[in-house]
Structure 1
């Protein structure tokens, strides 16, 4: 699973300040179509030392996914996004049309190729 997580992290590192991606979007870009939960599992393991902007990944409704297992990081995630200029409405949603990240395909392919090369992988895992 570490190889899959590395691909996910390579995608997430590309999301710029003030923009977000959905779990499904990250999964698709990492070659894990239909596996957004894997993205969630990978991001749950991120520590501060990893320098991965985990907080920029949200659910397809434009919300921070809330869970009692996240030990309060739900609120931290929204706060970090607000610090980057992202606005939430009273219901806790953000405007995906405004804030959704559109990947720079060339930069993303380069980042993923670098990860695959370092892991000795030929292509995305299934």
Structure 2
């Protein structure tokens, strides 16, 4: 007879376990995505795929885009304008209040946008999987 694992005995995802709230309520992938997006420094951008990879969850960049589309109601606010596609294109701009709002917000942070694409994408790209000095300091405390 084949033995099946008890779902209660299955190992949990590493990030999901760390992300559990005090009430032990599981954290949704939306909350995980938003937490990563809130860490994007002002004047920097990242991609949907980079957030998906850094989440530790088995999600795709398309799922991150879905979460970003719903970020307008999230509290605290999520800087969804800092998330672009892997080519640096403003692929999510149609989900903002006006067709130019995403570009305007990026330009206010000093990011150069030409023809709906970030001009210096490689130099302003922020990898959420790479710990920042601030994150390293927290771990060393």
Pick closer, same or farther for the CA change 1:65–1:73 going to 2, 3 Å.
farther
Pick closer, same or farther for the CA change 1:57–1:74 going to 2, 3 Å.
farther
CA offsets 1:68-91 (integer angstroms, 9 cap, x no match): 5x26544211110011000012x3
Larger helix share, 1 or 2 = 1
Hey, what does 2:100 align to over in structure 1?
75
TM superposition shift of 1:32: 3.8
Equivalence map 1:1-126=2 (5 Å): 3-32=28-57, 35-47=60-72, 50=75, 51-66=77-92, 70=95, 72-89=97-114, 91-94=115-118, 95-103=120-128, 104-105=130-131, 107=135
Q: TM-score, normalised by structure 1?
A: 0.72
Pick closer, same or farther for the CA change 1:74–1:29 going to 2, 3 Å.
farther
Pick closer, same or farther for the CA change 1:58–1:87 going to 2, 3 Å.
same
**Residues matched between the structures, number:** 107
Q: TM-score, normalised by structure 2?
A: 0.65
Q: CA RMSD in A?
A: 2.6
Q: Which has the higher contact order (CA 8 A, sep 6+)?
A: 1
Tell me the secondary structure at the aligned position of residue 126 of structure 2.
coil
Larger Rg: 2
Contact 1:24 1:33 in 2 (8 A): no
Stretches of structure 1 that go unaligned for 5 or more consecutive residues are: 111-126
